[in-house]
């Protein structure tokens, strides 16, 4: 009787399993699926669950995922209202919205700020006080100790740790030169914070850090184990790219293409290298520069896209426009006011789609997300107790 039941169970498992070779299922099918669909495949059978939970595969799957811009959709009111953060997939026409975070109530007292995105993880805070790390694909999250002025979240490759870079101003917020930076490993207590003072290895670097007001509200672009911020020309300082090396945890500067104003140019990632996008007001074109050689810091003009001002004025009465995203293929997202409209244009300046969500205001967060199902030890709860979902997961 027992043997017969075991045989029937084995036959049932074989019948439910994939008929395709495992390598084909893993690297030709699962490898191409978004995280949500891959999680559903785990429920089909034990074989598919085993294949899709392999650590090496999960890392390769994450690297395959597209980097999608994040957009906050909320109503600009003083009362509690639902809000969402969606990823916009510009590879499809029109772009498709993927839900990432959801807030059942969102107002000035319940506002969340997303500070950083790294390897499928988001670092966010509630009113700049309570800080969280979360993985939207798995709905896992953990709290951070009492930190402030968070600058970045990064992966420290030599140790495999994820670390938070934040700063303090002993002599006041305006004291840039005396800013002290701290590093805290995600999953550790505040006792594990480590001070790394800002190093100025050259007179030019010292002058740049002294004369430039650093705006760390702009998220950095990660590349080659470094974080990069763009700072345009101001006063007698040239435009620069500020670099934080995440391996030896030190700062330096790189040269950049000529830009008139920091407000008109932004750093981005283009085909595995750095890019800088800006609007040339003289020609009303969008110029996208790409870093040809990272070591020699040689830049080249990759895209020159007509900025469709005339067409956008048909929809926006205030004639206020802002270029907020350019994809690697040259697709643009342009924000218009008033009314609030988000335009999607292709690399030739043709209108693909416009998002006009009524009373809901779309805000591009200048962050991108690559979904990941990779496991992290700092998400594992030792007490195994059920806890209430945080506010950023309650609305989805």
Question: Could you tell me the two tokens for 376?
Answer: 């992290």
Residue with tokens 């026409």: 93
Best CA proximity match to 324, nearest among 295, 345, 294, 352: 345
Confidence at residue 2, expressed as pLDDT on a 0 to 100 scale: 46
From first to last of its 396 residues, the chain has per-residue pLDDT tens of 445 555 455 555 554 554 667 777 777 888 889 999 999 988 888 888 888 899 999 999 999 998 899 998 887 666 667 888 999 888 887 788 899 999 887 776 768 889 999 999 999 998 767 899 999 999 999 999 988 888 899 999 999 999 999 888 766 555 455 677 899 999 998 888 998 865 555 666 665 555 554 555 678 899 999 999 887 665 556 778 889 999 999 888 888 886 555 456 788 887 778 988 888 877 888 888 899 889 899 999 888 888 888 888 888 877 778 888 888 778 888 888 777 788 888 888 888 888 876 667 778 888 999 999 999 999 986 555 667 788 888 877
**Would you state the pLDDT for residue 61?**
93
CA distance 390 to 135: 12
What is the spatial distance between Cα 323 and Cα 349, in angstroms, rounded to a whole number? 12
pLDDT at 104: 80
Residue (of 52, 70, 160, 157) closest to 114 by Cα position: 70
pTM attached to this predicted model:
0.84
Domain-wise residue ranges, the chain: 2-59, 79-199+365-396
pLDDT, residue 246, reads 95
DSSP class per residue in 185-219: ETTS-GGG-EEEEPP--SHHHHHHHHHS---TTSP
* Torsion of the alpha carbons at 169, 171, 172 and 178, rounded to the nearest 10: -50
Dihedral angle sign, alpha carbons of residues 91, 96, 41, 100: positive
């Amino acid at each position: 009787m027992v043997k017969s039941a075991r045989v029937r169970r084995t036959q049932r498992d074989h019948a439910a399993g994939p008929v395709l070779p495992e390598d084909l299922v893993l690297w030709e099918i699962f490898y191409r699926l978004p995280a949500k669909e891959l999680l559903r495949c785990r429920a089909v059978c034990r074989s598919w669950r085993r294949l899709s939970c392999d650590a090496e595969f999960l890392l390769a799957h994450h690297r395959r995922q597209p980097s999608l811009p994040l957009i906050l959709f909320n109503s600009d009111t003083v009362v509690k209202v639902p809000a969402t953060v969606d990823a916009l997939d510009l590879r499809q026409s029109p772009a498709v919205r993927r839900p990432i975070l959801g807030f059942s109530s969102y107002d000035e007292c319940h506002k969340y700020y997303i500070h950083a995105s790294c390897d499928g993880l988001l670092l966010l805070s509630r009113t700049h006080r309570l800080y969280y790390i979360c993985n939207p694909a798995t709905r896992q999250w953990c709290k951070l100790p009492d930190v402030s002025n968070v600058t970045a979240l990064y992966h420290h490759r030599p140790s495999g740790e994820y670390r938070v870079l934040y700063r303090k101003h002993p002599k006041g917020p305006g004291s840039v030169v005396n800013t002290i930076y701290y590093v805290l490993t995600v999953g550790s207590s505040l006792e594990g914070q480590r001070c790394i003072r800002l190093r100025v290895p050259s007179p030019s670097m010292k002058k740049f850090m002294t004369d430039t007001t650093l705006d760390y509200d702009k998220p950095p672009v990660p590349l080659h184990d470094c974080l990069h911020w763009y700072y345009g020309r101001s006063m007698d300082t040239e435009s620069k790219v500020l670099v934080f090396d995440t391996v030896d945890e030190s700062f330096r500067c790189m040269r950049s293409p000529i830009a008139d104003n920091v407000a008109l140019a932004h750093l981005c990632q283009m085909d595995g290298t750095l890019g800088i996008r800006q609007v040339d007001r003289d020609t009303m074109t969008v110029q996208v520069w790409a870093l040809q050689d990272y070591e020699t810091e040689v830049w080249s003009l990759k895209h020159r896209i007509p900025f469709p001002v005339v067409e956008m004025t048909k929809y926006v009465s205030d004639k206020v426009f802002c270029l907020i995203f350019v994809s690697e293929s040259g697709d643009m997202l342009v924000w218009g006011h008033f009314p609030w409209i988000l335009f999607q244009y292709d690399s030739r300046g043709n209108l693909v789609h416009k998002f006009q969500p009524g009373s809901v205001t779309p805000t591009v967060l200048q962050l991108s997300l690559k979904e990941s199902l990779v496991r992290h030890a700092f998400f594992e709860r030792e007490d195994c107790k059920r806890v209430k979902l945080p506010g950023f997961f309650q609305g989805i």
